[in-house]
Structure 1
Amino acid sequence: MTSSLNASLLATVATSIPESQFIFNSTHYFVLALMLSISAAIGVYFGFFAKGEDTTEEYLMGGKRMKTIPIAISLVASQLSAISIMTIPAEMYAYGINWVFNVVCMLFVVPILNYVVIPVFYNNNITNCYEYLEMRFSRKVRGLQTFIFIATLFFMLPIFIFVPSLAFSQVTGFNVHIINIIVCGICVFYTMFGGIKAVVWTDVIQAAIMVISVILVGVLGAHRVGGLSEVLRIAGEGGRLDVNYNFDLSTRATFWNIFSSATILWAGNAGLNQSCVQRIVSLPSLSHARRSLVIFGFGFIVIMFFNCFTGIVMYSRFHDCDPIAIGQVSKLDKMVPYFVQDTVGHIWGMPGVFISCVFSAALSTLSASINSLGGVVYFDYIKPHINHTEHKANVIMKIFVLIAGIHCVFGGMVVDKFSSIFQVVYSIVGVSFGANCGVFLLGMLIPKAHEKAALSGVAASIASILSIVILSWGRNQYDPISQSTEGCPANMLNTTFSADSILHTQKEQESSILDLSFNWYVAVGFLITWLVALPLSFILKEKSDAKRNPKLLSPVIRPFVNYELTQMEEPREIKLEILEKNYG
C-alpha cells in the first residue's frame, strides 16, 4: 500500500534537505510531561484512593453511576484519535474537501443511535453489546463477532499509539520506539489500576487539550495565510473545495463513498462497539444516555470540523510550494507536524500543546479500547472455563490490559513500515465494521432474521472485503489534486522536477472489483451482509428453539411487527397488549 507520492521517487528531489524539526525546548517538554503526569495521577487516584467495590461492574462501568457530560466528552475524545489528528488534515490537503462528509454524517448517526440502537441495550439491561447477539441469535453469532472485534483491535492498537510517537519523533529526533514504550507504559498503568473511571476522567482532561490545540492550529494557521477569505480563495482556486459527486467506484474520495461508509462506520464505532457501548450503558438511564450522545455529536462535529479546516488551511499555506514535492517532508502522514512547526512553532508553548494533543487523542482511544477488550476476552473466552470470582476477574482483566500494552510496543515496529497509515486504517475497519454494523441492525430491524442468516451474512461480508483488501494490496495508487512548486525559493530546489512530474503513472488496465476505493469498504461490507442475510432470513427455516422476544427489536420497528413470542416466557405486559389487540 502506497501513499500518493512514492517515497522512492521523492528521494531524487532535494535529498540534501532534511525534514525540519520543532525547536522543542524545556517549556514544551514540561507541557507534555504535565499532561502525561496528570493522566498517571488520575489512575493512581481511582486505583488506590477512590476505589469502589472490587467487582467487574465497578471496574468496567463505574458501578453504573457515571455522569452524562464526562461520558459525552470521553466518547468525543476516543473518536478523535491520533490517527484523525495526524491524517485527516493531510487527506484534505492532498485530496480536497470530500472527507468533510465524515463530519456531516454525524447529524444522522446520533438519531440512529438514540432511537434505533441504544434503547435496545437499556431495555434488555445489556452491558456487553455482544451479549445482545447471543440473546437475539445464538452463542455462535456472538462468538464470531467478538472474535472479529478482538482481531480488529489486534491490528489497530499498535497504530493508535504509534502515530503520536511518530509525531514526537518527527519534531524532536528521539527514537520512535523508545517513545512508544514510555507512552504505552503510562496508558497501561492508569487503565489497569483506575478502570473505566480513570479512562473517562483522563479523557476529559485530554479532550480539553485536543480542543485547544485543534482550534488554535486552525485559527492561527488561517491568520498566517491572510484570514478566512484568503484561505477559501486559495483553496477554491486549487480545487480543494470541489465536491466530487462522481459515482465511479474506483475514485478515492467522493460524496457517495465518504458519506455512506462514514454513517455506517460512526454508527458502528460509537454505538455498536464495546469500547463505546461500555461507557454509554454506564449511565444510570436511557434518558441520560440520549443526552450524552447529543452532546457527543455536537462536540464531535465542532472538533472534527476544525480538524478538517486545518487541512484546507494547510493547502492554502503550501499551495505554491508543496513540501512533499521538494523533499522537505517524506510522506503525507508527516505533513501535519511540519505545518504546525511552520505556522505556530514560534509561539510560546505551542509545539508542546500540539504534541500533547496528539498523545491525548491516542491515549483516550487506546485506554478505552484495552479496557473494553479485557472485559470481552474475560467474559467470552475465560470465564466459562474457570471458577469465577469478582476479584479473580479483575486481576485477569488487568493482566490482559498489560499484555495488550506489550503488544502495542512490538506492533509499532510493524506499523513503522507502513507508507500510508490512513489507507491502512480504513482497510482494516472496512473488513470488520460493515459486517458488525450490518448484523446488529439486522437483528434489531428484521424480525424474521435468525442465526443461519446472520452467520451467512457476516461470513460473506468478511470474506468478500478481506479478499479485496488482500488482492488489491499495492494495486491502487491515488494521485492527489494537482500540487505546485512554483513559489518555492530557488535554494530549496536542486532539480527541475515539478509536482506533476512525480505523480504516479498508472498503466491502462481493465476495470476490476479490485479497483474499489478503500472508502467504499465499510458501506459495501454492510451491503453484502444484508444482501445475503435478508433473503436467507425468509428462505432458510429457523431452528425450532429460536429465540423471539419483542424487546430485542428496536422501538422504531416494534409497532409495525406482529411478533409472537416462542420458547420463552412472555412478559405480563406483552400478554395484556396482545389480548387487548385481539379481544379489545
Structure 2
Amino acid sequence: MSASTYGECVQDGFQITCLTFYNFTVADYIIFSFMLCLSAGVGVFFAYRARNSETVEDYLLAGRTMHFFPTSLSIMCTALSAITILGTPSEFYLYGGMYIWAVACFAINLSLSAEIFLPIFYHLKIRSTYEYLELRFHSITRKVTMAMFLLATIVSTGVAIYAPATAISAVTSIDLNLAILSCGLVCVFYTTLGGMKAVVWTDVVQSVWMISGLLAITIYSAVNIGYDEIWQKAKDSGRTEFFVTSWNPTVRNTIQAFLIGKTFGLDGYSFCVSQNFVQRFLACRSLAHAKGSAYMSIVWFATIITFCLTSGFALIIYYELCDPAAAGFLETTDQLMPWLTTYLFQENAGVSAIYVSGAFAASLSTVSSALSSMANALVSDFLYHWTNKLSEKKQLIICKSLVLFLGGCCIGFAYMAASLRGGILEAALAIPAIVGGPTWGVFMLAVFFPFVEFIGVSVGMFTGVAACTWMYIGRNIAPIPTEIVELAGKLEVNTDHCMYENGTMFPGNDVQPEYIENSPLLSFYNISVHYIGTLGFSTTVVFTLLTSTIVHLFVRKGKYNAKQRDPRLHCHHFSNLWRFITRNKVRSEDDEFWQIPGIKEEKSALEKSSNTDRSSVMSKTSNNKVSPEEVQTEF
C-alpha cells in the first residue's frame, strides 16, 4: 500500500502519534472491484435464470420459496448496514460498552416479530405490511403510513450510501462524489435485474465481506496486543461499564434507553413491521422458515456486534496518545476504523481492502433491501388498483422502473447527508424514528386493542409525528446545555502527543466551552437519540387510546364494526382474554361480519369446538383472505 505522508509517523509500541494517509495499491483495487463485480453478477445470474418465467410474486417476494438460512443472513445485513461497520466501533471507543445492549434489544424485537406479527402477516398472505392497516382500519391509513415509510427509507438509504463513501474517500484517492455514485449504481443494477432473490443471495455474499473485515482487525489485535491487555486498557479507561441504569432520558446509553427506548422506538418498528424486514419474512417458504430466519439472525447480529466491541476497544490502545479525530486530522469519528485498517495492514496488500469492501458491501445490502421494499410498497399499496389490470410482463416493467427511479432519489439524498448533525450513526437513527415510532404505535394498537379504530389512529399518528418533528427540529437549532454534555457519557480522548506534518506537537485545546444553563425545554430537545422513536410511539398510543375510547363509547355506543372484530387481524395470544372481557358485546353485534365467506365457517367451527385451541381453528380458515372491500365500513 502506497503512502501519502502526513508528517513522519512516530509510533510508541502500538500507540500512534501522527497520521499517514495510504492510497490503495493495485491489489486493493482488484479485491474491491471483485466485490462489486460479484454483487452485480448475482443480479445478472438471477435475471438470466428467470428470463422466461418471472412473475411479480417472484420479483418482489422470491416466489415465497426462500430458505431460512440465507434469509437470516439477509436480515442481519439489512439490520447492520455500513453505519454499523463504521460507526459502532467508534461508539464503543467513545462511549464505552453499553451499546452491547443493542443485542438484547434486537433479540426482544425479533422474538416479538416471530411470535406476534409474522403469524398474522403470513396467514393473511399479504405482500405489504401496510395492506394490513387497510384491512384493520382504512385505505387512508394504508397510504399515509406507506408514504411515511417511503420518506424515512429514502432518507436512511441516502445516509447508508454516504457512510461507506466517506470511508473510501478517506483512505483512497477516490473522489467522494464518485464513491457515492458507484455505490448507488451497482446496487440499483443488480436489484433491478434480479429482484428479491438477487437481493437475498447478494446479502449472503456480502455478509462474508462484512465479517471478514471485522475479523481481520480482531485477530490482528488479539495476536499482536492480546485480549487481556485490550480488556485491561478498556477497564482502566472506564469503558467496561455494561450496567449503567438511569431514568434520565438525556443520558445517552443506559439499559432503559436500549430496552425501552429502542424496543418501543425505531428498532421495534424496523424489525417487527417495517417493509424492509417483513418482506424477507414473507419471502420464506413457510411460517416455520420465517420464524427460523428471525431467530438465527439474532446469532449473526450478536457475532457482528461482538467483533465491533473488540475492534472499538482496540482503538483505545492505538489512539491512546493521539486521537486523530479530536486533533482534526480526520473529519469525523466514523473514519477512525477505516484509517486504522489502512495503517495496520499497509504491508499486507489487499487486507485493508477487505474491510473497506465490507463496509461498502454493508451499504449495498441496505440500499438493495430498501429499493426492493419501496418498489413493493408502491406497487402493492399505491398502484395496486391500476397494476392489477395489467399483464404480468407490464407489471414487471413497472416494478423495475420504480427501482431505477427510487435508486436515483436515494443517490440524490446521499449528497445531502453530509449536512446532517450528530454524525452518521445518530442521523440514521434519528430521522427514520420520527415516522417509525408513530407507525410502530399504530401497528401495536391495531394488533392488541380491537376497539381502536380509524379516527383514533388518525389523531394519534398525527400527534406522534408532530411531537417527533418538533423535538428533532429543536435539537438541531437549540444549544446543548453543559449539564447534558456531561451526561452524554463521552469518554476522554488524548491529543497531547499528536504531531503536525512538520514534526511540531499538536497544541491541544485548553479553551473551556461556554457554560450553557439547562432548562426543561432544552432537556426535551436533547433527549437520547434512542428515545426519539419512543416519544412518537408513546404520543401515538396515548392520543389514539383516548380518542378511540371517546368514539367507541359516545359515538359508536359501544358497538364494534366488522374490521374491529375480524379475529385474523389480532394477536391470537391476546384474543381469548379480550373475548372474555367483551364477550356479550362482541358476539351480539354486526352479525353481517360472520356472513363473509370464510368467516361463516370459522364461526361454526368455533361453536362446535369451544374448548379447542383457537390457533388451530383459525388455521383452517386463514387461507380465506378477506379483501378490504369485503369488510369495508363507512366512517
| TM-score where L is the length of structure 2 | 0.84
Aligned residues of 1:450 and 1:546 also touching (Cα < 8 A): no
What is the aligned partner in structure 2 of residue 509 from structure 1? 518
Residues 52-96 of structure 1: CA deviation (Å, up to 9, x unaligned): 633210110111111111111111111110111111111221122
Shift of 1:495: 4.2
- Secondary structure of the structure 1 residue equivalent to 2:335: helix
The answer to whether the aligner puts 1:455 opposite 2:458 as a matched pair is yes
**Rounded Cα–Cα distance in structure 1 between residues aligned with 2:193 and 2:173:** 32
What is the aligned partner in structure 1 of residue 239 from structure 2? 240
**Rounded Cα–Cα distance in structure 1 between residues aligned with 2:154 and 2:604:** 46
Flag the structure with larger Rg.
2
The answer to whether the aligner puts 1:468 opposite 2:478 as a matched pair is no
Aligned residues of 2:153 and 2:432 also touching (Cα < 8 A): no
Residues 178-189 of structure 1 mapped to structure 2, 5 A cutoff: 178-189=178-189
**Rounded Cα–Cα distance in structure 1 between residues aligned with 2:151 and 2:211:** 31
**Rounded Cα–Cα distance in structure 2 between residues aligned with 1:456 and 1:295:** 38
What is the aligned partner in structure 1 of residue 507 from structure 2? 496
**Rounded Cα–Cα distance in structure 1 between residues aligned with 2:442 and 2:568:** 17
Give the direction of change, closer, same or farther, for the CA distance of 1:123–1:348 in structure 2 (3 Å limit).
same
What is the aligned partner in structure 1 of residue 549 from structure 2? 538
**Rounded Cα–Cα distance in structure 2 between residues aligned with 1:18 and 1:231:** 21
What is the aligned partner in structure 2 of residue 9 from structure 1? none
My pick for the range that moved more, 567-576 or 435-444, is: 567-576
1:507 counterpart letter in structure 2: I
**Rounded Cα–Cα distance in structure 2 between residues aligned with 1:247 and 1:343:** 41
Shift of 1:409: 2.8
Residues 29-428 of structure 1 mapped to structure 2, 5 A cutoff: 29-51=29-51, 53-224=53-224, 226-243=225-242, 244-264=244-264, 265-385=266-386, 387-418=389-420, 420-428=423-431
Aligned residues of 1:102 and 1:263 also touching (Cα < 8 A): no
Shift of 1:353: 0.3
The answer to whether the aligner puts 1:575 opposite 2:585 as a matched pair is no
Q: 2:440 aligns with which of 421, 437, 440?
A: 437
**Rounded Cα–Cα distance in structure 1 between residues aligned with 2:151 and 2:372:** 15
**Rounded Cα–Cα distance in structure 1 between residues aligned with 2:134 and 2:539:** 22
My pick for the range that moved more, 35-44 or 532-541, is: 532-541
Shift of 1:196: 0.5
Shift of 1:315: 2.1
1:517 counterpart letter in structure 2: S
2:508 counterpart letter in structure 1: F
Residues 321-358 of structure 1: CA deviation (Å, up to 9, x unaligned): 22223332222122121222233443332111011101
Give the direction of change, closer, same or farther, for the CA distance of 1:408–1:576 in structure 2 (3 Å limit).
closer
Residues 20-76 of structure 1: CA deviation (Å, up to 9, x unaligned): 433411111111111111111111111123446332101101111111111111111
Aligned residues of 2:497 and 2:505 also touching (Cα < 8 A): no
Shift of 1:467: 0.7
- Secondary structure of the structure 2 residue equivalent to 1:80: helix
Residues 350-373 of structure 1: CA deviation (Å, up to 9, x unaligned): 111011101110011100110111
1:426 counterpart letter in structure 2: L
1:329 counterpart letter in structure 2: L
Q: Among all aligned residue pairs of Structure 1 and Structure 2, give the percentage whose two residues are the same amino acid.
A: 26
**Rounded Cα–Cα distance in structure 1 between residues aligned with 2:357 and 2:547:** 50
- Secondary structure of the structure 2 residue equivalent to 1:557: helix
My pick for the range that moved more, 227-236 or 215-224, is: 215-224
What is the aligned partner in structure 2 of residue 11 from structure 1? none
- Secondary structure of the structure 2 residue equivalent to 1:22: strand
What is the aligned partner in structure 1 of residue 570 from structure 2? 553
- Secondary structure of the structure 2 residue equivalent to 1:81: helix
Q: Which runs of 5+ in 1 are unaligned?
A: 1-16
**Rounded Cα–Cα distance in structure 2 between residues aligned with 1:434 and 1:201:** 30
Q: 2:534 aligns with which of 523, 536, 539?
A: 523
My pick for the range that moved more, 263-272 or 355-364, is: 263-272
Instruction: Indicate the structure whose relative CO is greater, using CA pairs within 8 Å and at least 6 residues apart.
Output: 1
Give the direction of change, closer, same or farther, for the CA distance of 1:285–1:350 in structure 2 (3 Å limit).
same
Give the direction of change, closer, same or farther, for the CA distance of 1:461–1:289 in structure 2 (3 Å limit).
same
Aligned residues of 2:18 and 2:324 also touching (Cα < 8 A): no
Shift of 1:546: 4.5
- Secondary structure of the structure 1 residue equivalent to 2:492: coil
**Rounded Cα–Cα distance in structure 2 between residues aligned with 1:125 and 1:404:** 26
Shift of 1:19: 6.0
Shift of 1:258: 2.6
Residues 439-470 of structure 1: CA deviation (Å, up to 9, x unaligned): 11111111222111222221111110111001
**Rounded Cα–Cα distance in structure 1 between residues aligned with 2:375 and 2:256:** 36
What is the aligned partner in structure 2 of residue 446 from structure 1? 449
My pick for the range that moved more, 470-479 or 147-156, is: 470-479
- Secondary structure of the structure 2 residue equivalent to 1:472: helix
Give the direction of change, closer, same or farther, for the CA distance of 1:51–1:233 in structure 2 (3 Å limit).
same
Aligned residues of 1:20 and 1:328 also touching (Cα < 8 A): no
Shift of 1:411: 1.9
1:156 counterpart letter in structure 2: S
**Rounded Cα–Cα distance in structure 1 between residues aligned with 2:512 and 2:343:** 25
**Rounded Cα–Cα distance in structure 1 between residues aligned with 2:50 and 2:56:** 16
Shift of 1:423: 1.9
Q: How many residues align?
A: 564
Q: Which runs of 5+ in 2 are unaligned?
A: 1-16, 580-585, 612-635
Aligned residues of 1:221 and 1:343 also touching (Cα < 8 A): no
Q: 1:481 aligns with which of 488, 491, 494?
A: 491
**Rounded Cα–Cα distance in structure 2 between residues aligned with 1:74 and 1:61:** 13
- Secondary structure of the structure 1 residue equivalent to 2:329: coil
Shift of 1:384: 2.6
**Rounded Cα–Cα distance in structure 1 between residues aligned with 2:307 and 2:513:** 31
Shift of 1:579: 5.3
Aligned residues of 1:320 and 1:486 also touching (Cα < 8 A): yes
Give the direction of change, closer, same or farther, for the CA distance of 1:267–1:472 in structure 2 (3 Å limit).
closer
Residues 222-278 of structure 1: CA deviation (Å, up to 9, x unaligned): 444x21121111111111122432322222222221332332433321231112111
**Rounded Cα–Cα distance in structure 2 between residues aligned with 1:503 and 1:193:** 56
Give the direction of change, closer, same or farther, for the CA distance of 1:405–1:287 in structure 2 (3 Å limit).
same
Aligned residues of 1:62 and 1:282 also touching (Cα < 8 A): yes
Aligned residues of 1:89 and 1:311 also touching (Cα < 8 A): yes
**Rounded Cα–Cα distance in structure 1 between residues aligned with 2:432 and 2:251:** 19
What is the aligned partner in structure 2 of residue 13 from structure 1? none
My pick for the range that moved more, 130-139 or 301-310, is: 301-310
Give the direction of change, closer, same or farther, for the CA distance of 1:221–1:574 in structure 2 (3 Å limit).
farther
Shift of 1:308: 2.9
Shift of 1:193: 0.9
**Rounded Cα–Cα distance in structure 2 between residues aligned with 1:446 and 1:34:** 51
**Rounded Cα–Cα distance in structure 2 between residues aligned with 1:180 and 1:425:** 17
**Rounded Cα–Cα distance in structure 2 between residues aligned with 1:311 and 1:248:** 26
- Secondary structure of the structure 2 residue equivalent to 1:322: coil
RMSD: 2.4
**Rounded Cα–Cα distance in structure 1 between residues aligned with 2:175 and 2:457:** 46
Give the direction of change, closer, same or farther, for the CA distance of 1:373–1:98 in structure 2 (3 Å limit).
same
1:238 counterpart letter in structure 2: S
Aligned residues of 1:220 and 1:344 also touching (Cα < 8 A): no
Shift of 1:180: 1.6
